[in-house]
Structure 1
Amino acid sequence: MELRRTSITLPHATVSALEWRPESESAVPVLLLHGGGADSAALSWGAVGAALAAAGHRVFAPDHPGFGRSARAEWPLTQERLVRHVGELIDGLGLHEYAIAGLSLGGGMTVGHLLDQPGRARCAVLLGCYGLMPRLADGPIGRITHFSTFVLLRTGLLAAMTRSYARNRSAMERGLGDLVRAPQSRTPELVEAVLTEAAVGTGLETFAQWQHDQVLWNRLRTLYTPHLPSIMTPTLLVHGDRDSGVPLARIRTAAELLPAGSLVTVPDAGHWVQRDRPDIVIPAMLDHLERTTDAPAPRP
């Protein structure tokens, strides 16, 4: 298996991507889309990409524009533009038969792609997926939490708080404790890598731009849930039962609405589920890929 970093020139941007090449390519290629904030392809997909390549998949994990090693795009970072970016990325890679998976922001990009270009992907995996909630929080104070975040965004206070948090090792360790709940997975190396990404990358600023587009005063701009029954692509949802950002109940509803949806609930795992419990997530992904890509392609 060979791992290399490559540049992909698209009509709107040049993005940096990791590519895992198996010794013998015997399965469909897989496109992996990382999350927001101080995330990147390397941070989210290092272990997953290697495992998929070992099973015969050629794997691509790009840094979204403005994240990781990819320069920021000239266009505003909206959800619609990111979804269009996914289609252009697939065309730029020359993929015809492929599987797609995404975490959080990348999960929302994946759902958007399945809706925008139905029938192209052979199968999909959604981890801690964005776009399945009307607001940032559920429950009795969900509306207050959402509106408070809107105010913090518009006043610039959230950006200032995020910058301060990103420079504070103790705060970062506490924050990662919510995202990655297993102590053995929350290594000093991971903390250092996230701190470095937050300090030298532009992901936090880029993500804030996307948040400005998505967080309206009373709701999130993007809600894919009503459109899920139209997605025929076999889709696996993988979700930590301790995910504090996306309630498991929302994911269960999504799995029920998807005509070919299935759900793997990961016990005691947080939002960054593949970093938290790779021992459960990677086998679940491999099983889904094997079962769905050996079957005839679904009709749109």
Structure 2
Amino acid sequence: MDARRTVIDLPHATVSALEWWPTAETGLPVLLLHGGGTDSAELSWGEVGPALADAGHRVIAPDLPGFGHSPRADWSLTQERLVRHVGELVDALDVSDYAIGGLSLGGGMTVGHLLDQPGRARTAMLLGCYGLMPRLADGFRGRVTHLTSFLLLRSGLLAAITRSYARNRSAMERGLRDLVRNPQARTPELVDAVLAEAADGTSLETFGEWQRDQVLWNRLRTVYTESVASIPTPTLLIHGARDTGVPLARTATAAALLPSATLEVVPDAGHWVQRDRPELVIPAMLAHLRRNDAPTTRT
């Protein structure tokens, strides 16, 4: 099923989005938010979107401002502003009953939306979710890693290193091994697509702006863990067992705190879990949507 690219005009941004329409819309519409770095709607959801549409869901996957085909916004890319952006997207799409899901940065935006507008979404799906850990890594070495990352960010060295890395195919292939552990899923086409996003778009610059807002010298600015107990929305958490970006224990803690949550641990998968093991992730998402969908056909 081919995606249809549309432009969504919002009060404070204009974004490009991919939409997959089912033959008959029998399920909840699904809003999917991609991650940071060199990500986009197509990169994260290009395989998920058609599968959900085949099951009767209208799927909308926007490129966040400054990522993919969306121009950068004229506002600072903070977590709080991105959460408001999600609410504006939902308003513009004019959906009153919907599912929302996100990967990494997009997962953190999803949690923020659930807290900011409680009860609005019918159900949620969090993949390798941001916002559930106090620092970039755990333990004593994690504190050192966090402080080093902060210094590199503030000095501009991390941006320079990342730009160099993004132009080097061999370096990109090595980096993707941590994100996508399955060699069969880490295809030359995926490497090409990530390199193209890094070279042609503004995603790295945009993501760096968000990182500078979020990474303080001793902690991350946004930690939702203590707040998730107030979220009644049925939530599926999907996490790669070998995710080196977000510790599984942090996601398990959030799953235990959420009033209505299911945790699916994907064996041998890394942080980009839906690219790594789509044959496991997509059925888990579909099963969750079926459990929380309306029993009647939509018009």
Q: TM-score range by the shorter chain?
A: over 0.9
The residue aligned with 1:192 is 192
Q: C-alpha offsets along residues 140-190 of structure 1, whole Å, 9 cap, x if unaligned?
A: 211111000000000000000000000000000000011000000000000
Alignment partner of 2:112: what SS? helix
The residue aligned with 1:240 is 240
| Separation in structure 2 between the aligned mates of residue 286 and residue 116 of structure 1, nearest angstrom | 26
Unaligned runs of 5+ in 2: none
After TM superposition, the structure 1 = structure 2 runs for residues 136-175 of structure 1, keeping only pairs within 5 Å, are 136-175=136-175
Alignment pair present for 1:70 and 2:70: yes
| Separation in structure 1 between the aligned mates of residue 2 and residue 56 of structure 2, nearest angstrom | 12
The residue aligned with 2:230 is 230
Amino acid of the residue matched to residue 52 of structure 2? L
The residue aligned with 1:51 is 51
Q: C-alpha offsets along residues 4-63 of structure 1, whole Å, 9 cap, x if unaligned?
A: 000000000110000001111111100000000100000000110000000000000000
| Separation in structure 1 between the aligned mates of residue 63 and residue 24 of structure 2, nearest angstrom | 25
Alignment partner of 1:97: what SS? coil
Give the percent of matched residue pairs that are identical in Structure 1 and Structure 2: 75
The residue aligned with 2:23 is 23
TM-score normalised to the size of structure 2? 0.98
Amino acid of the residue matched to residue 218 of structure 1? N
Kept in 2: contact 1:2–1:22 (CA 8 A):
no
The residue aligned with 1:114 is 114
TM-superposed CA distance for 1:295, in Å, is: 7.4
Kept in 1: contact 2:35–2:103 (CA 8 A):
yes
Alignment partner of 1:56: what SS? coil
Q: C-alpha offsets along residues 98-130 of structure 1, whole Å, 9 cap, x if unaligned?
A: 000000000000000000000000000000000
| Separation in structure 2 between the aligned mates of residue 29 and residue 108 of structure 1, nearest angstrom | 20
Alignment partner of 2:292: what SS? helix
Amino acid of the residue matched to residue 259 of structure 1? P
Unaligned runs of 5+ in 1: none
TM-superposed CA distance for 1:243, in Å, is: 0.2
TM-superposed CA distance for 1:205, in Å, is: 0.2
TM-superposed CA distance for 1:293, in Å, is: 1.9
After TM superposition, the structure 1 = structure 2 runs for residues 72-111 of structure 1, keeping only pairs within 5 Å, are 72-111=72-111
Amino acid of the residue matched to residue 7 of structure 1? V
Kept in 2: contact 1:127–1:238 (CA 8 A):
yes
Alignment partner of 2:61: what SS? strand
TM-superposed CA distance for 1:198, in Å, is: 0.2
Kept in 2: contact 1:2–1:23 (CA 8 A):
no
| Separation in structure 2 between the aligned mates of residue 180 and residue 49 of structure 1, nearest angstrom | 19
TM-superposed CA distance for 1:95, in Å, is: 0.9
The residue aligned with 1:180 is 180
| Separation in structure 1 between the aligned mates of residue 295 and residue 143 of structure 2, nearest angstrom | 43
Kept in 1: contact 2:19–2:59 (CA 8 A):
yes
| Separation in structure 1 between the aligned mates of residue 2 and residue 196 of structure 2, nearest angstrom | 25
| Separation in structure 2 between the aligned mates of residue 222 and residue 185 of structure 1, nearest angstrom | 31
Kept in 1: contact 2:18–2:62 (CA 8 A):
yes
Provide runs of 4+ in structure 1 moved above 3 Å: none
Amino acid of the residue matched to residue 253 of structure 1? T
The residue aligned with 2:219 is 219
TM-superposed CA distance for 1:2, in Å, is: 5.1
TM-score normalised to the size of structure 1? 0.97
The residue aligned with 1:203 is 203
| Separation in structure 2 between the aligned mates of residue 167 and residue 3 of structure 1, nearest angstrom | 28
Alignment pair present for 1:60 and 2:73: no
The residue aligned with 1:292 is 292
Kept in 1: contact 2:28–2:294 (CA 8 A):
no
The residue aligned with 2:280 is 280
